[in-house]
Amino acid sequence: MKFEAATIKDIAKALGLSTSTVSRALRDSYEISEATKKKIKDYAAQINYRPNPVALSLKEKRTLSIGVLVSEIANTFFSQVINGIESIAYKNGYNVIITQSKESVEREEMILDYLTSRSIDGLIISVSAETNDFTNLKQLHEKGLPIVFFDRVVEEINTHKVVTDNLDGVYRATQHLLQNQCKRISVIANNANLSITKERLAGYKKALNEYKMNIDESLIKYCDHGGLIVEEVEKVVDELLTLKKKPDAMVLLADKITTETFSILKKKNINMPQDIAVIGFNNSKYTSLFSPALSVISQPAFEMGEQAAQLLLNLIESKRAVTDFKLEALAPEIIIRESSQISSR
């Protein structure tokens, strides 16, 4: 059972006019007399007429909706980004279709195929951790689908990108640990394929280099699924804790990895920051309520969403092909709390 909404035809019939006259009157065309316009508009308002967006889409070859693909909606960072995207899209009359890959390549491929079979005008995407083959995405881009990357970007595809200044964020976080006399700073990173992993590790190494510390590869661990699988985090934490020369600090390079590691360390009754100082990426307000209150690198998620959406709308609505692409790198905020503050050691 469906509810049948009024169409232009209904109005035309009721008023003894043609559909074209009605259409023109509703769009306030100059060629219609004020009297007819008024009659038509009044009647339209009365029966609560709304133009059918599907018919418009078919005619105008656009859907007024944009697709968003992230790895997980329930992740605070992503839901904040989506919030930002939504606010801009909404303001400009666009729908947002939100989808999640759950870090799976197959799901990502399926979703892309689905979304781009004409149901979106543009795409905002943070690629899944597993993905390292971007031919599909590249093809879509070459065919003319407007794409904006955020967070996890694909270097080979030339389009707008919105990221956190990951290098600087981790650089400052690591610096802070070094200033707190940490000597063996470990890191747990996301999948090595990801742009964010490379950038964040570069920040870590930059800080160590400045302090003339050696890069010890045994202190660098990866979670291929971005911490979505608890076991992969447990595994690397255990590896770090059973090293001959144990780390005295951890820098956690992804939201999920941060909270999982924190939880694991607590369960093992490891004192933070005394035994291990901890700082990691996370966007949830809740981390301030943790015990110890967690030091975090927080990304300007809402703004990232806003910027990505604005850039995408620019692409979609631009008349000429855009060739000048922007890379927006927004500054993260380093929030130092108890988990990384070593008063004396």
Partner DNA sequence: TTGTAGGCGTTATCAG
Partner DNA sequence: CTGATAACGCCTACAA
Chosen from a second copy, DNA, none, partner binding at 33 (C-beta under 5 to 8 Å by type): DNA
| Tokens, residue 305 | 């969403």
Query: Which region, judged by CB under 8 A, interacts with a second copy, from 142-150, 169-177, 178-186, 324-332?
Result: 142-150
Q: Least distance (Å) from a second copy to the CB of residue 33?
A: 28
Distance CA 258, CA 237 (A): 11
Q: Least distance (Å) from a second copy to the CB of residue 79?
A: 4
What are the angstrom distances between the C-alpha of 75 and each of 96, 275, 284, 291, 301?
18, 28, 9, 21, 11
| φ and ψ at residue 65, rounded to 5 degrees | -135, 150
In 3D space, the residue among 276, 288, 285 whose CA is nearest the CA of residue 252 turns out to be 276
Q: Is position 63 an interface residue for a second copy (rule: CB under 8 A)?
A: yes
303 by DSSP, 3-state: which?
A: helix
Distance CA 232, CA 214 (A): 26
Q: Least distance (Å) from a second copy to the CB of residue 58?
A: 5
Chosen from DNA, a second copy, none, partner binding at 272 (C-beta under 5 to 8 Å by type): none
Chosen from a second copy, DNA, none, partner binding at 62 (C-beta under 5 to 8 Å by type): a second copy
Chosen from DNA, a second copy, none, partner binding at 117 (C-beta under 5 to 8 Å by type): a second copy
52 by DSSP, 3-state: which?
A: coil
Q: Is position 99 an interface residue for a second copy (rule: CB under 8 A)?
A: yes
Q: Is position 54 an interface residue for a second copy (rule: CB under 8 A)?
A: yes
Residue whose CB is less far from a second copy, 218 or 271: 271
Q: Is position 144 an interface residue for a second copy (rule: CB under 8 A)?
A: yes
Residue whose CB is less far from DNA, 59 or 285: 59
Q: Is position 255 an interface residue for a second copy (rule: CB under 8 A)?
A: no
Point out which residues bind DNA (CB under 7 A). Answer: 4, 7-9, 16-21, 23-24, 26-27, 29-36, 50-52, 55-56, 58-59, 61
Report the Cα 100 to chain-centroid distance in Å: 10
Quote the DSSP letter at residue 326: -
Quote the DSSP letter at residue 83: H
Chosen from DNA, a second copy, none, partner binding at 20 (C-beta under 5 to 8 Å by type): DNA
On the 0-12 / 13-18 / 19+ scale of CB atoms within 10 A, 162 is buried
Q: Is position 73 an interface residue for a second copy (rule: CB under 8 A)?
A: yes
Distance CA 38, CA 17 (A): 13
Angle at 10 between CA 7 and CA 15, to 5 degrees: 135
Cβ proximity of 343 and 273 under 8 Å: no
Binding site for a second copy (CB under 8 A): 1-3, 5, 50-55, 57-58, 61-63, 65, 73-74, 76, 79-80, 82-83, 86, 90, 95-100, 113, 117-119, 140, 143-145, 259, 262-263, 266, 284-292, 318, 320-321
